[in-house]
Structure 1
Amino acid sequence: MLEALAHQQLKALLRQEGAAEWPHHLSLSRLVARSLRRSDHTLIRLTPGTGPDWWISLLVPLALSDAPLALVLSQDLRQRLLQMELPRLRAVNLALPLWEGSGPCPPHRIWLLDHAELMEAWRNGQLGEHQLVIPEAETLEPKLRRSLAVRITADDWNRLLRSQPAAETSLMALHDRLSRRVLEPPRQPSGLVAIAPEEEAPLRQLLALLGPLPPPWDQWLEQGGDGWSSWAEVDMRLLQWTLHRQPLEPLHALAGLLRGRGAVLLGQLASPIAVRRSTQAHGAAPEAVLGLTPEVVVDLGDPPLADPLPLFAPLRQPLPNSPVFAQHLLEQSRRLVLGQARLSVILCDDEGLRLSLASAMAAEFGRRVEHESTTPDANGILCARWSWWLEQQERLPLPGQILAATLPIASLEDPLTAARVTALRQQGLDWFRELLLPEAVNRLQRSVAGLRRGGGRLAVLDGRLRSRSWGATVLRALEPWASLSRLLPN
């Protein structure tokens, strides 16, 4: 059977390369091989922060399988596959025949796709019987959402007017009505303005009566219904706005993508303990977090860590909406940075708060302070958004400390988040514990994983961690940790 063959080949490869640090190589290989043989849906959850050692355990059964496969990778993982993992397979005479680019994919090749190419292949009916293998399942939803997104710019409006001269007057009137709605005060600092379905309904009704529409208007018209969210991104310097539309749950919008098709998903998903305690109380299955209910769900956790994570999180700290919070952040950040010889990373999603803190820190620490730079000094002070850090941390040196100015909880000022929350509220669900908290826990776990490897410390300066009941869930997700009762220079 494929499982036994993959087990033997991987065992020989690991023996040839020497000791392997990750303890689950053989288990992962057998799970993947079993799923490929059965063509079922398998979800394998890795501990957030797990290093890339597991890669070879995924690739060995893929190289041995005769099933038509599509491997969906981000650009970073694709580079790792081509530059590092393929030579390892060749060293033990294992071939991994790859087909890159648009399809259709010839037989006996593994189709290498990114998420946008996956959507294109599915829409064009080119996937056929290909089973899907999707690492980085923790980023699957946002990447599929971006792949399905429709973006309407000022140039797209002009193309629409040129293609429909008979309806120019009506289209201009609808554009002006939306412009007044989008540009009227008060405006969010982010420049994002939610657009309700009833506000875009007249435009949708008119376009449905017109002839062939230029792209992306044809796609915008197709993607209607309650499962989508629309908003405008305003550029006040040019008094222009861009219309965005994205699905709330991309896997629901892609009904049929996984139907009758095997899929193996691997990801550094939120702590099973945290997710179960926040969802099972409401009767929801934790594995439905990705919009599907797989037949097999397995957790491959790391062995218990001997050294707990040093955590500075005083009991009494102001809340982010407190008028003294900004000053609190500045004072605590200054104290934490003093005497720190390694990189300090300050994470905050509130743009105004983050930029003002970076400016105040730069006034005292000078050029050590940088904003979202991939080339910080060895003892630099890097201010960034949580999402930026998650994308870039592998390219940066391990930090000596991370300062969580605010916890990575999505803001309801973001139109997409607000729409997802509204959908859960209409179902009578606890939208905070079903959506915002599990996502925040997962971001936090993945963001601080490097601290454990590098012997750094974590400081949480958000008072909600200690004052809210859900703070205990966040603390459990960080275990093991050791409380720092006072600040001492490293």
Structure 2
Amino acid sequence: MNIVHCTRMLEVEVHQRLRSLLRTEGIPPWPHHLTLARLVTRALRLGPSAVMEIGGLAGVQGHYRVGYLAAALLWPGAVVLVAPADIQRRWLQVELPRLRVWLQVDKPLYREQAPAGCTDGLLLLTPQRWLQELLTPASPLAQLPTLIDGLDDLEQWAETVLTQSRSPQDWDEWVWAQPPCAELIRETQIALTHSLLSHPPNPYEQWLLSETEQNWLQAVWPPPSPPGWVRWATLERHLAQFTLHCSPLWALAELASHWPQRPWVGLGLALGHLSLPGVTRFRFAPHPRDEVLHLYAPAHLPPPNHAGFYQAICQELHRLLPLAQGLVVILVEEQPLQTQLTVALAAEFGSRVQRERTALEENGILVTGWRFWQSHQERLPAPSLLVIPLLPIPPREQPLVTARIDSLRHQGRDWFREYLLPHTLAQLQRTVAPLRGGRVALLDSRVCHRSYGAQILTALEPVIRYSRLAAFGSG
């Protein structure tokens, strides 16, 4: 069967063909397959561009992909598909082969590079490759409809692509390239080394460069011409070496003039933190009955800045752990607290306790940071209990976080509600998504006592909140 070439009828065709497949083939059940497929097709055909938040287990398990891939296969022309490598593997090994057979479509597939003058087919790109193409003047990809999966990490993708870095080895190259300035370059390197080593250690060993340090660099590494970029350094203290970085303060703003000229659609688990003017937003919420989150959020614990916080968390963990019937995951990004909890729990539970490892016992206790958990959770069994001692508020020890807060403060804006809180909500939504229908313990009592606590609970809906452990254990 040929691809439909009448774009006005394309939404109807996608709907009918997909509905037929849902009746006859083993497509994972999800109540919004048809709606998503129609919305994607309409956005690509008429605009405006759209972002679609897929909440709950469907977003984690990828059931929603059938809808937008069907729309892409039936689109009368070339379509760009952007996603990280793990999603692309799923496309190529599972969804696309099945859909091409079911839909009787022989649309060609290309990875990373399409033939010159390509007017048909699916072009699969990694986020980094796609962004590099967009930043290239007169890139032909800007003229193609684009679908982006995993859009949650767009900000991080953009920062990675746009950030300029200079390693310790670059100083040698500067010396070789500018022999008359060799002495000045070495003096600058030594001065920066001493200055950075004078900073007290922090968990990230990263700092914004001071005005004095930036002045030292003027002759060696001039600042970028556009305003709104910041310079910072990563220190390897044990080697007395550092890497310099220059990053845009707001990476998405830097991309604003490079977005595809044709409509595009982005999909992800939690997208409220992304500032994308001019797009239409849709949200497919978790199932209100089958995906209720059972949340233990006690109000009696001291706040994180209280001297008794660590002891209170340890006591609460000893009450929580006996309730678990399988893997327990304790999410702690702060390195000192992560170390303290790992040591304390290992002293009592022995080898059951592991820190950021994937080889775990069936009833293991994994103490991990947020990034490690998000990167490896697909390879681990679903935890019977997820414990979050602290809200994942972006740490002010990170240079870009500090710079953004300072920028918003100088503009008289609410830096917490405009920047920190949206990122916290998105992180929580992504993290609890695999636990829908299961149990999560959020031990940061600011959820109960601060004005933004209601927003956090709303973001986690559907949720049943327990303030007493006895009710949580039997719920």
Q: 1:406 to 1:242 in 2, by over 3 A?
A: same
Counterpart-to-counterpart distance in 2, 1:33 and 1:262: 10
C-alpha deviation, 1:335, in angstroms: 2.2
Alignment match, 2:416: 432
1:74 is aligned to 84
Which of 336, 343, 355 is residue 371 of structure 1 equivalent to? 355
Among 455, 458, 461, the alignment partner of 1:473 is: 455
Q: How far 1:429 sits from its partner (Å)?
A: 1.7
Instruction: Specify the alignment match of 2:376 in structure 1.
Output: 392
**Which residue number corresponds to residue 25 of structure 1?**
33
Q: Which residue of 2 aligns with 1:86?
A: 96
Partner of residue 107 from structure 1, selected from 119, 122, 129: 119
| Contact 1:192-1:232 within 8 A present in 2 as well | yes
- Aligned CA RMSD, in angstroms, stands at 2.3
Shift in Å, 1:110:
2.0
* CA distance 1:374–1:226, shift in 2 (3 Å): farther
Determine the C-alpha separation between the residues in 1 that align with 2:107 and 2:66.
Answer: 12
Deviation larger for 128-137 or 361-370: 128-137
**Alpha-carbon distance in structure 1 between the residues aligned to 2:144 and 2:291:** 44
CA distance in 1, matches of 2:110, 2:13: 24
Name the CA shift for 1:358/1:199 in 2 (closer, same or farther; >3 Å). Answer: same
**Which residue does the alignment assign to 1:55?**
65
Partner of 1:359: 343
In the TM superposition, what whole-angstrom CA distance separates every residue of 1:323-371 from its partner, at most 9, and x where no partner exists?
2212222221122113532000001111111011111101110111011
Is contact 2:327-2:365 (8 Å) kept? yes
In 2, Cα distance between the equivalents of 1:185 and 1:196?
A: 12
- Measure the CA separation in 1 of the matches of 2:88 and 2:416: 35
Show the counterpart of 2:144: 130
The secondary structure found in structure 2 opposite 1:53 is: coil
Alpha-carbon offset, residue 448 of structure 1: 1.4
Distance 1:382 1:96, change over 3 A: farther
1:11 alignment counterpart: 19
Tell me how far apart the structure 1 counterparts of residues 32 and 120 of structure 2 sit (CA, whole Å): 28
CA distance in 1, matches of 2:18, 2:321: 45
TM-score by length of 2: 0.90
Paired residues, number: 458
1:97 to 84, 102, 108: 108
Distance 1:96 1:360 in 2: 57
Residue 259 and residue 132 in structure 1: after superposition, are their counterparts in 2 closer, same or farther (change >3 A)? Answer: closer
Counterpart code for 2:149: P
Partner of 2:4: none
Post-superposition shift, 1:308? 3.8
* 1:69–1:132 CA contact under 8 A, matched in 2: yes
Q: Which residue does 2:387 correspond to in 1?
A: 403
Structure 1 unaligned spans of 5+: 209-220, 276-288
Residue 119 of structure 1 aligns with which residue?
131
Q: Does the 8 Å contact 1:153/1:241 carry over to 2?
A: yes
Deviation at 1:171, TM superposition (A): 1.6
1:78 alignment partner AA = Q
Q: Contact between 1:89 and 1:95, CA under 8 Å: does it hold in 2?
A: no
Identical-residue share of aligned pairs (%): 34
Structure 2 unmatched ranges of 5 or more: 1-8
Mapped to 1, the partners of 2:217 and 2:110 lie a distance apart of: 42
In the TM superposition, residue 468 of structure 1 has moved relative to its aligned partner by 1.4
Question: 1:476 is aligned with what amino acid?
Answer: T
Q: For the residues of structure 1 that align with 2:22 and 2:184, how far apart are their CA atoms?
A: 68
In structure 2, relative to structure 1, the CA distance for the partners of 1:115 and 1:201 (3 Å cut) is farther
**Structure 1 equivalent of residue 250 of structure 2:** 249
Provide the C-alpha distance between the structure 1 equivalents of 2:22 and 2:86, rounded to a whole number of angstroms: 24
Alignment of 1:137-152 (within 5 A): 137-152=151-166
Q: Which moved more, 1:16-25 or 1:354-363?
A: 16-25
CA positional deviation for 1:102: 4.1
Q: 1:175 to 1:25 in 2, by over 3 A?
A: same
1:418 to 393, 398, 402: 402
Give the structure 2 partner of residue 464 of structure 1: 446
- 1:267 is displaced (CA, Å) by 1.9
TM-score, length basis structure 1:
0.87
CA distance in 2, matches of 1:100, 1:18: 27
Give 1:458 shift. Answer: 1.2
Q: Secondary structure at the residue paired with 1:57?
A: helix
Write out per-residue CA displacement over residues 248-286 of structure 1, whole angstroms, 9 at most, x where no aligned residue: 32221124221633211112225xxxx6xxxxxxxxxxx
The 1:421–1:95 alpha-carbon spacing in structure 2 relative to 1, beyond 3 Å, is farther
Q: 1:297 corresponds to which letter in structure 2?
A: R
Between the aligned partners of 1:60 and 1:168, the Cα distance in structure 2 is: 60
Distance 2:256 2:294 in 1: 45
* Mean Cα deviation higher: 371-380 or 242-251: 242-251
